[in-house]
Amino acid sequence: MTAIKPTVQRPCPGPRAGRAVTALALRQTRLGALVVAALVCGMSAMAVAAHRSTVKDPADAAALEALAGNPAIRTLFGEPVALYDAGGFAVWRTGTALSVVLAVWALLAATRITRGEEDAGRWDVLLAGRVPVTTVVARHITVLVSASLLAGTAAFAGLIATGATASGAAVHGAGLALCGVFFTAAGAMTAQVFPTRSAASGAAVAVLGISMLLKMVGDGLAALGWLRWLSPFGLTALSRPFDGNQVWPLVILFSACLALASGAAAAAGRRDIRGGYLRSSSGRAPRMRLLGSLQAFSVRRLLRPLAAWAAGLGAYYLLIGVLAVSLTGLLTDNPRFADLAAQAGFAGLGTVQGYVATLFALLAIPAGTFVAVRLATLATDESGGRLTLLFAQPLTRARLLSGEIAAALGGVIVLTTVAGLATWSGTQAVGAKLGITAALSGAWNALPIALLCLGTSVLALGWTPRAVTVIGSLPAAGGFLLKVIADISGWPAWVGLMSPFAHLAPVPGVPVNWLPVFLMTAIATLAATAGAVGYRRRDLRI
């Protein structure tokens, strides 16, 4: 008989295995990268188009620049640079916001596809092959860096397509891309330092918050303008697109990105797999609080992230309150400034009530994102196998889901209350006339949109658990962008009415519009019910 030789599976050669790792990272991030690039391109182009309707002559440009030179406006929206130019206006109007959007996406994607995949055990077999962990991390960083460069290129293309100057558009696009690269590297570095995805993401978000605070303080106070050199957002602003096009701030930012990214890749090779440089203590006494029921456990899981979100929102809205008198006084004394502010998308800033109502409308975005992230955590725990033993107990999925929904709802009420109290405290410190009831009612006015986010998050958890964060954030983030784009692009009125923001009254300037509140609450309830049905019927993700 002829002996049958066993077939031996030869290991994949190094370059081929490396390309496979790159393809894996690309597959995990391509959709988000394309969405962010399209958003950056569209918003940049829309802002250039809005300049034509806002600044019709040199007098309008001078008046708008004088308005933007107010310390309150500079703190909230950045230093005004070349507002007479359509590109400069677009950078001032959308540059900071787009930088933050790209930075948030980049750092969360970095921790998700590195620390998150490693925690879930999906890197165990990968790292047992020929590709070392340093190469795996470096290739994931490279893919995310490419995504940030794509976003910067999209901003350049959007500005050029609408008639902006090429040199200024190139500087702005480069600064935007480098912001994304910096926070990609920051997320990758925290993924090596901290042993869990949540801790790594929290630390990277803290870096973003501190960076944004440094820029805001540097923009608002001339004596502390040097603080902007310590922030990636500040360095981007110091490049002054369309007004000098300074390259040195971007060179410094590039050097910081290179050092941080290289450090993250090198740090990966000097730690244990599924471990970090900071390890939790194993010798502490057990903490048994809030472990007596599923509902209490949901609250326990919520406390730390809620404290972090509340601290960030409280600090921001405290600043909003402190700046109330400075901004509203300027607009009251100069009616033309108020008209230009309304045309630029900041209507109702002439009174304290209208000012806080405008800023409270923005509260719906972080509030809605908060509940979406909380429900996405439940989906992540399920796919990571951390709920398997829990579901093996005589406990129903409905009980777990109801506990998470109740905890998220309570958390978002706490967040809006903190924002309202912080705003009231700030106005009291500067002698602005705003009652505590008015401040709280304005903050709570954002709750209907947050409820929509909660309902759509539960719906996504039941039927498409991989997309909970995206779908859950859509009513808030997507609704706000839809309204802004509809306002500045001249689209038909019915397009803007599709946004839930179009139906919220500017509280506390006017009474609450209860009919949309009830309708949004009903829609959120129906979405959550449909999601609960899907959650009970589908298989667990292992």
Q: What is the pLDDT of residues 348-374, one digit of tens each?
A: 666 788 888 888 988 999 999 999 989
CA separation, residue 60 to residues 21, 80, 338, 341, 489 (Å): 53, 14, 12, 11, 19
pLDDT at 61: 63
Q: What DSSP element (H or E) covers 53?
A: helix 14-54
Q: Which of 182-191, 206-215, 338-347 has the lowest mean pLDDT?
A: 338-347
C-beta separation of 416 from 311 below 8 A: no
Per DSSP, 504 falls in state S
pLDDT at 142: 95
Beta strand spans in 360-509 (E): none
pLDDT tens-place string over residues 445-483: 999 999 999 999 999 999 998 889 889 999 998 898 888
Average pLDDT value for the chain: 85
Confidence label for 285 from pLDDT (cuts 50, 70 and 90):
low
C-beta separation of 126 from 25 below 8 A: no
Q: Which residues of 328-360 are buried (b: 16+ CB within 10 A; e: fewer)?
A: bebbeebeebbbbbebbbbbbbbbbbbbbbbbb
pLDDT at 103: 94
Give the alpha-carbon dihedral of 231, 484, 35, 74, to 10 degrees: -10
pLDDT at 292: 74
Among 512, 401, 523, smallest CA distance to 451 is for: 523
Among 243, 47, 265, smallest CA distance to 140 is for: 265
Q: Which of 1-15, 206-220, 237-251 has the lowest mean pLDDT?
A: 1-15
pLDDT at 102: 94
The residue ranking higher by pLDDT, 214 or 391, is 214
Confidence label for 187 from pLDDT (cuts 50, 70 and 90):
very high
Q: Residue 426 pLDDT more than 50?
A: yes
Q: Residue 10 pLDDT more than 60?
A: no
C-beta separation of 40 from 98 below 8 A: yes
pLDDT at 509: 81
Confidence label for 14 from pLDDT (cuts 50, 70 and 90):
low
- In this prediction, residues 65-88 reach a mean pLDDT of 74
* The two structure tokens encoding residue 31: 């959709």
pLDDT at 174: 96
Query: How far apart, in whole angstroms, are the C-alpha atoms of residue 19 and residue 25?
Result: 10
Q: Residue 256 pLDDT more than 70?
A: yes
Confidence label for 334 from pLDDT (cuts 50, 70 and 90):
low
pLDDT tens-place string over residues 127-151: 777 788 899 999 999 999 999 999 9
Confidence label for 282 from pLDDT (cuts 50, 70 and 90):
low
